[in-house]
Structure 1
Amino acid sequence: MNLTQYVDQLRQELAVAAEAGGDEARAMAERLTAPLESAARLTLLNALSAAADEITADLAPGSVDVRLRGVDPEFVVTPPPAPETFDARAEYEALMSAQPAPPPAPAAPDTADDGGTARVNLRLPGHVKARVEEAASREGLSVNAWLVRAASAALDRPDARTAVTAARREVRSSGNGFTGWVR
Protein backbone atom coordinates (compact mmCIF):
# COMPACT_ATOMS: atom_id res chain seq x y z
CA MET A 1 0.00 0.00 0.00
CA ASN A 2 1.52 3.29 -1.09
CA LEU A 3 1.28 5.92 1.67
CA THR A 4 2.77 8.73 -0.46
CA GLN A 5 -0.62 9.92 -1.71
CA TYR A 6 -1.92 10.25 1.84
CA VAL A 7 1.18 12.11 3.05
CA ASP A 8 0.98 14.44 0.01
CA GLN A 9 -2.70 15.09 0.74
CA LEU A 10 -1.82 15.99 4.34
CA ARG A 11 0.91 18.36 3.08
CA GLN A 12 -1.55 20.08 0.70
CA GLU A 13 -4.14 20.54 3.43
CA LEU A 14 -1.53 22.03 5.74
CA ALA A 15 -0.54 24.47 2.96
CA VAL A 16 -4.18 25.47 2.41
CA ALA A 17 -4.61 26.08 6.14
CA ALA A 18 -1.39 28.16 6.23
CA GLU A 19 -2.59 30.37 3.35
CA ALA A 20 -5.23 31.80 5.66
CA GLY A 21 -2.50 32.98 8.06
CA GLY A 22 -0.56 35.01 5.49
CA ASP A 23 3.01 34.82 4.13
CA GLU A 24 4.62 34.18 7.50
CA ALA A 25 2.32 31.21 8.27
CA ARG A 26 2.82 29.77 4.75
CA ALA A 27 6.62 29.92 5.16
CA MET A 28 6.35 28.21 8.54
CA ALA A 29 4.13 25.45 7.07
CA GLU A 30 6.67 24.82 4.27
CA ARG A 31 9.47 24.44 6.85
CA LEU A 32 7.35 22.02 8.93
CA THR A 33 6.10 19.73 6.12
CA ALA A 34 9.45 17.99 5.48
CA PRO A 35 9.97 16.84 9.11
CA LEU A 36 6.27 16.00 9.46
CA GLU A 37 6.39 13.54 6.53
CA SER A 38 8.07 10.77 8.54
CA ALA A 39 5.79 11.45 11.54
CA ALA A 40 2.73 11.26 9.27
CA ARG A 41 3.95 7.94 7.75
CA LEU A 42 4.53 6.49 11.23
CA THR A 43 1.09 7.62 12.40
CA LEU A 44 -0.58 6.09 9.33
CA LEU A 45 1.34 2.85 9.87
CA ASN A 46 0.19 2.76 13.51
CA ALA A 47 -3.43 3.29 12.40
CA LEU A 48 -3.14 0.47 9.84
CA SER A 49 -1.62 -1.86 12.47
CA ALA A 50 -4.46 -1.09 14.88
CA ALA A 51 -7.02 -1.76 12.12
CA ALA A 52 -5.30 -5.07 11.29
CA ASP A 53 -5.48 -6.06 14.98
CA GLU A 54 -9.23 -5.35 15.09
CA ILE A 55 -9.82 -7.34 11.91
CA THR A 56 -7.74 -10.22 13.29
CA ALA A 57 -9.86 -10.28 16.44
CA ASP A 58 -13.00 -10.74 14.30
CA LEU A 59 -11.32 -13.17 11.88
CA ALA A 60 -9.78 -15.50 14.50
CA PRO A 61 -8.37 -18.10 14.03
CA GLY A 62 -7.34 -16.31 10.81
CA SER A 63 -5.22 -13.18 10.93
CA VAL A 64 -4.23 -9.97 9.16
CA ASP A 65 -0.65 -8.72 9.54
CA VAL A 66 0.93 -5.45 8.41
CA ARG A 67 4.48 -5.81 7.10
CA LEU A 68 6.76 -2.99 6.08
CA ARG A 69 8.40 -3.36 2.65
CA GLY A 70 10.75 -0.42 2.21
CA VAL A 71 8.67 2.59 3.19
CA ASP A 72 5.29 1.13 2.25
CA PRO A 73 3.18 -1.25 4.35
CA GLU A 74 1.83 -4.52 2.95
CA PHE A 75 -1.09 -6.58 4.26
CA VAL A 76 -0.75 -10.35 4.70
CA VAL A 77 -4.05 -12.16 5.22
CA THR A 78 -4.11 -15.68 6.64
CA PRO A 79 -7.66 -17.03 6.29
CA PRO A 80 -9.12 -19.33 8.94
CA PRO A 81 -8.90 -23.03 8.10
CA ALA A 82 -11.87 -24.38 6.17
CA PRO A 83 -14.27 -26.35 8.38
CA GLU A 84 -14.34 -30.08 7.80
CA THR A 85 -17.62 -31.23 6.33
CA PHE A 86 -19.29 -34.57 6.74
CA ASP A 87 -20.31 -36.25 3.50
CA ALA A 88 -22.99 -38.81 4.36
CA ARG A 89 -23.10 -40.21 0.82
CA ALA A 90 -19.35 -40.87 0.75
CA GLU A 91 -19.58 -42.41 4.23
CA TYR A 92 -22.37 -44.74 3.09
CA GLU A 93 -20.48 -45.77 -0.06
CA ALA A 94 -17.35 -46.47 1.96
CA LEU A 95 -19.33 -48.70 4.33
CA MET A 96 -20.99 -50.57 1.49
CA SER A 97 -17.85 -51.14 -0.59
CA ALA A 98 -16.14 -54.51 -0.39
CA GLN A 99 -12.77 -52.93 0.35
CA PRO A 100 -11.99 -52.20 3.98
CA ALA A 101 -12.23 -48.49 4.60
CA PRO A 102 -10.50 -46.47 7.33
CA PRO A 103 -12.68 -45.74 10.34
CA PRO A 104 -15.07 -42.90 9.48
CA ALA A 105 -14.79 -39.52 11.12
CA PRO A 106 -17.34 -38.76 13.83
CA ALA A 107 -20.55 -37.57 12.26
CA ALA A 108 -21.45 -33.93 12.58
CA PRO A 109 -24.78 -33.34 14.27
CA ASP A 110 -27.67 -33.23 11.84
CA THR A 111 -28.65 -29.58 11.58
CA ALA A 112 -31.68 -30.32 9.40
CA ASP A 113 -33.85 -31.44 12.31
CA ASP A 114 -35.21 -29.28 15.09
CA GLY A 115 -32.11 -29.80 17.22
CA GLY A 116 -33.94 -31.64 19.99
CA THR A 117 -32.90 -34.97 21.40
CA ALA A 118 -34.93 -37.78 22.85
CA ARG A 119 -33.99 -40.15 25.62
CA VAL A 120 -34.32 -43.88 24.96
CA ASN A 121 -33.67 -46.68 27.43
CA LEU A 122 -32.00 -49.51 25.54
CA ARG A 123 -31.49 -52.95 27.06
CA LEU A 124 -28.71 -54.98 25.46
CA PRO A 125 -27.45 -58.44 26.32
CA GLY A 126 -24.09 -58.21 28.13
CA HIS A 127 -22.08 -59.66 25.24
CA VAL A 128 -23.63 -57.18 22.75
CA LYS A 129 -22.97 -54.27 25.10
CA ALA A 130 -19.32 -55.30 25.40
CA ARG A 131 -18.99 -55.45 21.59
CA VAL A 132 -20.60 -52.00 21.24
CA GLU A 133 -18.19 -50.53 23.81
CA GLU A 134 -15.20 -52.09 22.00
CA ALA A 135 -16.36 -50.75 18.61
CA ALA A 136 -16.93 -47.25 20.02
CA SER A 137 -13.52 -47.28 21.68
CA ARG A 138 -11.80 -48.37 18.45
CA GLU A 139 -13.38 -45.42 16.63
CA GLY A 140 -12.68 -42.95 19.41
CA LEU A 141 -16.37 -42.28 20.08
CA SER A 142 -18.63 -42.46 23.09
CA VAL A 143 -21.05 -45.37 23.20
CA ASN A 144 -23.95 -42.96 22.66
CA ALA A 145 -22.32 -41.34 19.59
CA TRP A 146 -21.50 -44.76 18.17
CA LEU A 147 -25.08 -46.00 18.67
CA VAL A 148 -26.54 -42.84 17.09
CA ARG A 149 -24.30 -43.27 14.05
CA ALA A 150 -25.05 -47.00 13.78
CA ALA A 151 -28.81 -46.39 13.99
CA SER A 152 -28.62 -43.57 11.41
CA ALA A 153 -26.58 -45.73 9.03
CA ALA A 154 -29.05 -48.61 9.38
CA LEU A 155 -32.01 -46.34 8.70
CA ASP A 156 -30.32 -44.64 5.74
CA ARG A 157 -29.66 -47.91 3.90
CA PRO A 158 -32.11 -48.12 0.99
CA ASP A 159 -32.72 -51.86 1.56
CA ALA A 160 -33.20 -51.64 5.36
CA ARG A 161 -36.97 -51.24 5.34
CA THR A 162 -37.64 -53.73 2.55
CA ALA A 163 -35.49 -56.42 4.22
CA VAL A 164 -37.46 -56.17 7.48
CA THR A 165 -40.75 -56.09 5.63
CA ALA A 166 -39.85 -59.09 3.46
CA ALA A 167 -38.74 -61.13 6.45
CA ARG A 168 -42.05 -60.56 8.22
CA ARG A 169 -44.30 -60.89 5.22
CA GLU A 170 -45.07 -64.55 5.51
CA VAL A 171 -48.59 -64.26 4.33
CA ARG A 172 -50.62 -67.46 4.23
CA SER A 173 -53.91 -67.89 2.53
CA SER A 174 -56.58 -69.56 4.61
CA GLY A 175 -60.00 -69.62 3.13
CA ASN A 176 -61.55 -66.15 3.05
CA GLY A 177 -58.80 -64.23 4.92
CA PHE A 178 -55.12 -63.68 5.20
CA THR A 179 -52.84 -63.83 8.22
CA GLY A 180 -49.26 -62.60 8.63
CA TRP A 181 -47.20 -59.44 8.88
CA VAL A 182 -47.66 -56.58 6.48
CA ARG A 183 -46.07 -53.19 6.44
Structure 2
Amino acid sequence: MDLTPYVDNLRHELAVAANAGGDDARALAERLTAPLESAARLTLLNALSAAMGEVTRELAPGSVDVRLRGLDPEFVVTAPPAAEPFREVREPLAAPAAPAPPPADADDGAMARINFRLPAHLKARAEDAAAAEGLSVNAWLVRAVSTALDGGERATPPGHGKEPGGRGFTGWVR
Protein backbone atom coordinates (compact mmCIF):
# COMPACT_ATOMS: atom_id res chain seq x y z
CA MET A 1 0.00 0.00 0.00
CA ASP A 2 1.49 3.30 -1.08
CA LEU A 3 1.28 5.91 1.71
CA THR A 4 2.61 8.73 -0.51
CA PRO A 5 -0.83 10.07 -1.58
CA TYR A 6 -1.91 10.30 2.06
CA VAL A 7 1.29 12.07 3.15
CA ASP A 8 1.01 14.44 0.15
CA ASN A 9 -2.61 15.21 1.10
CA LEU A 10 -1.49 16.02 4.66
CA ARG A 11 1.25 18.30 3.27
CA HIS A 12 -1.32 20.08 1.07
CA GLU A 13 -3.74 20.55 3.99
CA LEU A 14 -0.92 22.01 6.11
CA ALA A 15 -0.07 24.46 3.32
CA VAL A 16 -3.73 25.53 3.01
CA ALA A 17 -3.91 26.13 6.76
CA ALA A 18 -0.61 28.07 6.69
CA ASN A 19 -1.88 30.37 3.91
CA ALA A 20 -4.45 31.72 6.35
CA GLY A 21 -1.63 32.81 8.68
CA GLY A 22 0.34 34.89 6.21
CA ASP A 23 3.86 34.74 4.80
CA ASP A 24 5.59 33.81 8.06
CA ALA A 25 3.21 30.89 8.69
CA ARG A 26 3.59 29.70 5.07
CA ALA A 27 7.41 29.76 5.37
CA LEU A 28 7.24 27.84 8.65
CA ALA A 29 4.90 25.22 7.14
CA GLU A 30 7.29 24.70 4.20
CA ARG A 31 10.20 24.16 6.60
CA LEU A 32 8.16 21.67 8.69
CA THR A 33 6.69 19.49 5.92
CA ALA A 34 9.88 17.53 5.16
CA PRO A 35 10.60 16.52 8.80
CA LEU A 36 6.92 15.74 9.39
CA GLU A 37 6.77 13.27 6.48
CA SER A 38 8.43 10.45 8.43
CA ALA A 39 6.27 11.16 11.49
CA ALA A 40 3.13 11.10 9.32
CA ARG A 41 4.16 7.77 7.74
CA LEU A 42 4.84 6.27 11.17
CA THR A 43 1.48 7.48 12.49
CA LEU A 44 -0.35 6.04 9.47
CA LEU A 45 1.52 2.73 9.89
CA ASN A 46 0.53 2.59 13.58
CA ALA A 47 -3.12 3.24 12.67
CA LEU A 48 -3.03 0.50 10.01
CA SER A 49 -1.41 -1.95 12.45
CA ALA A 50 -4.09 -1.27 15.05
CA ALA A 51 -6.83 -1.70 12.44
CA MET A 52 -5.39 -5.01 11.26
CA GLY A 53 -5.18 -6.15 14.89
CA GLU A 54 -8.94 -5.64 15.14
CA VAL A 55 -9.49 -7.45 11.83
CA THR A 56 -7.34 -10.34 13.04
CA ARG A 57 -9.41 -10.67 16.22
CA GLU A 58 -12.53 -10.98 14.07
CA LEU A 59 -10.90 -13.47 11.66
CA ALA A 60 -9.41 -15.77 14.30
CA PRO A 61 -7.94 -18.30 13.73
CA GLY A 62 -6.99 -16.47 10.52
CA SER A 63 -4.92 -13.30 10.67
CA VAL A 64 -3.86 -10.15 8.85
CA ASP A 65 -0.34 -8.83 9.45
CA VAL A 66 1.15 -5.50 8.41
CA ARG A 67 4.73 -5.67 7.19
CA LEU A 68 6.92 -2.78 6.16
CA ARG A 69 8.47 -3.20 2.72
CA GLY A 70 10.66 -0.19 2.03
CA LEU A 71 8.61 2.82 3.07
CA ASP A 72 5.23 1.26 2.42
CA PRO A 73 3.18 -1.25 4.42
CA GLU A 74 2.15 -4.57 2.95
CA PHE A 75 -0.77 -6.66 4.20
CA VAL A 76 -0.27 -10.40 4.62
CA VAL A 77 -3.48 -12.41 5.03
CA THR A 78 -3.26 -15.86 6.59
CA ALA A 79 -6.43 -17.87 6.05
CA PRO A 80 -7.73 -20.14 8.80
CA PRO A 81 -6.54 -23.75 8.53
CA ALA A 82 -8.59 -25.93 6.19
CA ALA A 83 -11.03 -28.39 7.68
CA GLU A 84 -9.79 -31.91 8.26
CA PRO A 85 -10.12 -34.13 5.22
CA PHE A 86 -12.59 -37.01 5.25
CA ARG A 87 -11.24 -40.03 7.09
CA GLU A 88 -12.61 -43.47 7.83
CA VAL A 89 -12.87 -44.51 11.46
CA ARG A 90 -12.32 -48.19 12.22
CA GLU A 91 -13.60 -48.06 15.80
CA PRO A 92 -16.86 -46.45 16.79
CA LEU A 93 -16.11 -43.07 18.36
CA ALA A 94 -18.23 -41.21 20.84
CA ALA A 95 -20.13 -38.91 18.55
CA PRO A 96 -20.59 -35.28 19.47
CA ALA A 97 -23.75 -35.25 21.47
CA ALA A 98 -26.72 -33.54 19.94
CA PRO A 99 -28.87 -31.40 22.17
CA ALA A 100 -31.73 -33.16 23.85
CA PRO A 101 -34.95 -32.37 22.05
CA PRO A 102 -36.86 -29.63 23.86
CA PRO A 103 -40.33 -30.36 25.16
CA ALA A 104 -42.88 -30.01 22.37
CA ASP A 105 -44.73 -27.22 24.14
CA ALA A 106 -41.56 -25.17 24.83
CA ASP A 107 -40.24 -24.64 21.29
CA ASP A 108 -42.14 -21.86 19.59
CA GLY A 109 -39.19 -21.02 17.29
CA ALA A 110 -38.61 -17.63 18.92
CA MET A 111 -35.03 -16.63 19.70
CA ALA A 112 -33.83 -14.48 22.57
CA ARG A 113 -30.56 -12.60 22.76
CA ILE A 114 -28.50 -12.23 25.93
CA ASN A 115 -25.12 -10.72 26.76
CA PHE A 116 -22.92 -13.30 28.39
CA ARG A 117 -19.72 -12.25 30.16
CA LEU A 118 -17.17 -14.80 31.25
CA PRO A 119 -13.47 -14.76 32.09
CA ALA A 120 -11.08 -14.84 29.13
CA HIS A 121 -9.68 -18.26 30.08
CA LEU A 122 -13.19 -19.79 30.06
CA LYS A 123 -13.99 -18.12 26.73
CA ALA A 124 -10.85 -19.65 25.22
CA ARG A 125 -11.80 -23.09 26.57
CA ALA A 126 -15.35 -22.74 25.20
CA GLU A 127 -13.98 -21.73 21.78
CA ASP A 128 -11.60 -24.73 21.79
CA ALA A 129 -14.37 -27.14 22.80
CA ALA A 130 -16.72 -25.76 20.13
CA ALA A 131 -14.01 -25.99 17.45
CA ALA A 132 -13.19 -29.56 18.49
CA GLU A 133 -16.83 -30.51 17.91
CA GLY A 134 -17.18 -28.53 14.70
CA LEU A 135 -19.71 -26.11 16.18
CA SER A 136 -19.91 -22.36 16.50
CA VAL A 137 -19.41 -21.05 20.01
CA ASN A 138 -23.06 -19.99 20.06
CA ALA A 139 -24.30 -23.47 19.06
CA TRP A 140 -21.98 -25.07 21.61
CA LEU A 141 -23.22 -22.77 24.38
CA VAL A 142 -26.87 -23.41 23.46
CA ARG A 143 -26.22 -27.15 23.65
CA ALA A 144 -24.35 -26.81 26.97
CA VAL A 145 -27.18 -24.79 28.54
CA SER A 146 -29.78 -27.22 27.20
CA THR A 147 -27.84 -30.19 28.57
CA ALA A 148 -27.38 -28.52 31.95
CA LEU A 149 -31.08 -27.67 32.24
CA ASP A 150 -32.20 -31.15 31.13
CA GLY A 151 -30.18 -32.84 33.88
CA GLY A 152 -27.24 -33.94 31.75
CA GLU A 153 -29.25 -36.16 29.42
CA ARG A 154 -27.86 -36.22 25.91
CA ALA A 155 -29.49 -37.59 22.84
CA THR A 156 -27.54 -40.05 20.70
CA PRO A 157 -27.90 -39.61 16.93
CA PRO A 158 -29.21 -42.63 15.02
CA GLY A 159 -26.48 -44.97 13.82
CA HIS A 160 -24.14 -44.05 16.67
CA GLY A 161 -23.75 -45.66 20.01
CA LYS A 162 -23.02 -49.17 21.21
CA GLU A 163 -24.05 -51.19 18.20
CA PRO A 164 -21.89 -54.34 17.92
CA GLY A 165 -19.54 -54.34 14.93
CA GLY A 166 -20.70 -50.90 13.85
CA ARG A 167 -18.56 -48.70 11.64
CA GLY A 168 -18.61 -44.95 11.70
CA PHE A 169 -17.39 -42.18 9.49
CA THR A 170 -16.45 -38.66 10.47
CA GLY A 171 -15.52 -35.61 8.46
CA TRP A 172 -16.97 -32.81 6.37
CA VAL A 173 -18.20 -32.86 2.82
CA ARG A 174 -18.13 -29.87 0.53
Give the TM-score range, shorter chain: 0.5 to 0.7
Which ranges of structure 2 fall in alignment gaps of 5 or more residues? Answer: 103-142, 161-174
Superposition CA RMSD, Å: 3.6
Give the structure 2 partner of residue 131 of structure 1: none
Q: In the alignment, does 2:58 pair up with 1:58? A: yes
Deviations 1:77-111 (A, max 9, x none): 112234559x9xxx9xx7xxxxxx63466534447
- Structure 1: how far apart are the matches of 2:43 and 2:20? 26
Distance 1:4 1:112, change over 3 A: farther
Q: Which has the higher contact order (CA 8 A, sep 6+)?
A: 2
The CA distance in 1 between the partners of 2:25 and 2:42, in whole Å, is: 25
Matches of 2:94 and 2:62, distance apart in 1:
25
1:6 equivalenced with 2:6 (yes/no) = yes
Larger helix share, 1 or 2: 1
Query: Does the C-alpha gap of structure 1 residues 27 and 82 become closer, same or farther in structure 2, counting only changes over 3 Å?
Result: same
Q: Is 1:17 the equivalent of 2:25?
A: no
Contact in 1 for aligned 2:45/2:73 (Cα 8 Å): yes
1:75-94 aligned at under 5 Å gives the runs 75-83=75-83
Is structure 2 residue 151 aligned with structure 1 residue 153?
Answer: no
Q: Deviations over 1:4-40 (max 9, x none)?
A: 0100000000000000001111111011101110110
1:114-172, CA deviations, whole angstroms, 9 ceiling, x for partnerless residues?
555678xxxxxxxxxxxxxxxxxxxxxxxx99x935xx117xxxxxxxxxxxxxxxxxx
Amino acid in structure 1 at the alignment position of 2:62: G
Using the size of structure 2 for normalisation, the TM-score is: 0.54
Paired residues of 2:97 and 2:156 also in contact (CA < 8 A)? no
The sequence identity of aligned pairs, in percent, is 63
How has the CA–CA distance of structure 1 residues 148 and 45 changed in structure 2, closer, same or farther, with 3 Å as cutoff?
A: same
1:134-153 aligned at under 5 Å gives the runs 148=156, 152-153=158-159
* CA distance in 1 between partners of 2:10 and 2:92 (Å): 61
Q: Which amino acid aligns with 1:64?
A: V
Q: Tell me how many residue pairs correspond in the alignment.
A: 117
Alignment partners' CA distance in 1, 2:7 and 2:42: 10
CA gap of 1:48–1:81, structure 2 versus 1, over 3 A, is: same
Structure 1: unaligned runs, 5 residues or longer: 95-100, 120-143, 155-183
Largest Rg, 1 or 2? 1
